[in-house]
Chains A and B, each alone.
Chain A
Amino acid sequence: MDDLIKLVKTYRVTAGLAERIRLAEEIFRLIEPDLRVFVFSSVSHEAAKDALQEILKAVAISLKQFKGDTVKEFWAWCYRIARNKLNDHYRSKAADRMQPTPPEDLWQMMELSAQDAPMSPAVRHDLDYAIKLLTAAKPDCSDLLWRHYVIGLDYGEIAEERNLSYDNARMKIGRCLDEAKSLVS
């Protein structure tokens, strides 16, 4: 991940267009997969394709203005841009907001992944448990668990997103996991 911030810092001081494009391609090859998970977990898949392109464009255009020094700051900045774009999107098309994904659709995704990484019975058992945890809780809890454990947002990022303190976010996620576990068992 150190490579990412080095690339971003180099991009900031690069004047030539060809070199900027080369650096931008490297940067976006690294960040696009995570941004894609973020977007596809937030809006319907149909809407997500366009939303992702808008977000990538917004990040690319603003890349020279990023002022931070660490990968963590860079990701926080990227997710802030993504959230703002998605909020704009929600305002114009409320129907595109992601609905909780049913377990059978999640299983389809798992089966798709199995084409490249076959599932042992133990892994299948773990995945069954994970899907139950993610879908058992109430929608708000399920969303929190998804953002933390699947998208990989840390407590600080979720706190910013939800306008909570860091500790509140941490405790809320802990309570949601407890709730999910009790519902599954």
Chain B
Amino acid sequence: MAELPQKEQLALHEFSVRYRAALAKQHQTPEQSLDTVRDAVREQYEQEQDAKRSPSVEPPSPTKEREPDEPEP
């Protein structure tokens, strides 16, 4: 933004700061947002723990029967 003429830069910056402040005032966050984040972190943590508890999930056997690929020409 360095090449912006000063007048526009100042005006748009002032607008941006005030727009953010107004949005923050209108939608005072955070408890709902932080609840969402906490739940997501727990969910991800539990998935990791499940994966650790059952490390013996075997990758699909290469010899296992599978649907054929595209028919050979």
Residues of A within 8 A of B (CB): 17, 20-21, 24-25, 28-29, 32-33, 36-37, 40, 49, 52-53, 56-58, 60-61, 63-64, 106, 109-110, 112-117, 123, 126-127, 129-131, 133-134, 145, 148-150, 152, 174, 177, 181
* A52 near B33: Cβ-Cβ < 8 Å: yes
**9 more A-B contacts (CB under 8 A) besides A37-B23, A106-B15, A177-B4?**
A49-B27, A52-B33, A56-B33, A57-B39, A61-B44, A110-B15, A113-B17, A134-B15, A148-B1
* B12 near A149: Cβ-Cβ < 8 Å: yes
Residues of B within 8 A of A (CB): 1, 3-4, 7-8, 10-27, 29-30, 32-34, 36-45
Can you name 16 A-B residue pairings with CB atoms under 8 Å?
A17-B42, A20-B45, A21-B38, A25-B37, A28-B33, A28-B37, A56-B36, A60-B40, A60-B41, A61-B43, A106-B15, A109-B26, A113-B18, A116-B21, A130-B11, A150-B16
